[in-house]
Amino acid sequence: MYGLEGRRAIVTGAAYGIGKGIASRLAAEGCDVGLFDLDLAAAERVAVELSGSGRRVAVAAGDVSSKTDVEAGIGRLLAELGGGADILVNNAGICRIGKLLEMSESDWRATFGINVDGLFYASRMVVPGMVERRSGAVINLASWMGKSGAEAYGAYCASKFAVVALTQTLALEVGEHGVRVNAVAPGLVVQTKMRDESEERRRREGLPLAEERAKAIPLRRAAVPEDIAKAVAFLASDEAAYITGETLSVTGGVWND
C-alpha cells in the first residue's frame, strides 16, 4: 500500500474499465474519491461498490469535453470532498479508429474534445487549489500510442501525444508549487469498453484481436485495469515524490520510447 489514507482524489471517466479500476484502487488505499463520468447510473453503481471501503465517495455526471459540465460537475465533487482534491486522475478518453484521410471531422473533434480538452478543463478546475496548498499529484492517462504512430489510429495517437506534451508542460509550470504531474501510458488493455469497441472493429476488418496480439508482448499477456491502477497509485503517492513530468509505460515490456 502507498500511504494515501485521508487524501481526496477525483477520477474522470470513472464508471468503467481503467477509470473504475483506478477509483477502486485509490479507495482501497484510503482515499476519498470523486467519480466524474458521462454515465451517471454506471458511476453510481461504482459508488455503491466502493461504499464498503469506508471512504467518502461522491458522484457527478458530465461530458469532459464540455467546459460547463466540467465546471459544474467537478465543482460539486470538490465541495463534497471538502473543498479540494489532493489527486486528479485525467482518465476519460475515447478511441475512434479510421485512416486520417478518411476519418470524419466529427470523430476527429470528438477525440480531441474528450482526450485533450477534458484534461485541460479538469486540470484548470483542480490544480489551482493544489498550487494554493503547495501539494498535489496529477496523473494523466496517455497511451503507448502517444509515443508512436499507428495506422488507422491517427487521431487517437495525436491526442495522446498531446497528453504527453501537456503533462510535461504542466509539470514545468507547477513544480515550484509542490505539485507533481505525470502520465501513465498503458499498452494493450482488456476488460474495458474501449477495448470491446476496438475489438469489434478489428473483427469486422479481419485484423488480429487482443488475444493474438498479446502473444507478441514480452510478458505474454494483455494488461487489465488493475495493472494501470497500481501505476497510478504509485505516482500519486509520496513514493514518487521526486518524479514529475514523466510518462510511465505500462506495456508488459513493449518499448516504443
Spell out the residues 6+ positions from residue 78 whose beta carbon is closer than 8 angstroms to its own.
Answer: 10, 34, 84, 85, 125, 126, 129
Measured distance CA(8)–CA(257) in Å, rounded:
32
**Euclidean distance between CA atoms 6 and 19, whole angstroms:** 20
State yes or no: is 16 an active-site residue: no
As a whole number of angstroms, the distance between CA 129 and CA 78 comes to 10
Report the alpha-carbon distance of residue 34 to residue 73 in Å, rounded. Answer: 10
Contact 96/159 with Cβ under 8 angstroms? no
Task: Name the active-site residue from 16, 121, 153, 156.
Answer: 156
Query: Is 232 in contact with 25 (CB distance < 8 Å)?
Result: yes
- Here the cell at position 161 is 501525444
Q: What's the residue count for the chain? A: 257
Q: What is the CA radius of gyration of the chain?
A: 17
* Contact yes or no for 51/73 (Cβ under 8 A): no
Residues involved in catalysis: 156
